[in-house]
Amino acid sequence: MPSITLDLRQAIMHKIHGKDEQGLREMIEGSIDAQEAALPGLGVVFETIWKHIDTSKQNELVSVLKQQVDQASLKPLK
């Protein structure tokens, strides 16, 4: 039996390829606060965005992330 290698990035890109902007928004919003299985897909989406935006937008995203991390109410890890 031949070996099949799954490239997660490519699999996710295939899944979202051809979606219009509304479809992409629905995919993102449907993944937010969903099961953790959705996180790799959001990671690929974020990676794609990050690679194709300018430094000022990257800085803005990092700033928003920093603010939210600083404000997060963290529960102790079990």
Query: Is the Cβ–Cβ distance between 67 and 39 less than 8 Å?
Result: no
Statement: residue 46 has pLDDT above 80: yes
What are the CA-CA distances from residue 54 to residues 13, 39, 41, 57 (Å)? 22, 24, 22, 6
**Helix (H) or strand (E) run with residue 7 in it:** none
How much of the chain, in percent, has pLDDT values that exceed 70?
92
Considering its fold, how many domains does the chain have in total? 1
Residue 31's domain comprises 4-74
In the 8-state DSSP scheme, what is residue 38? G
Whole-model pTM?
A: 0.80
Mean pLDDT computed over every residue of the chain:
92
The set of residues, in sequence order, having a beta carbon less than 8 Å from that of 13 and lying 6+ positions away, is 44, 48
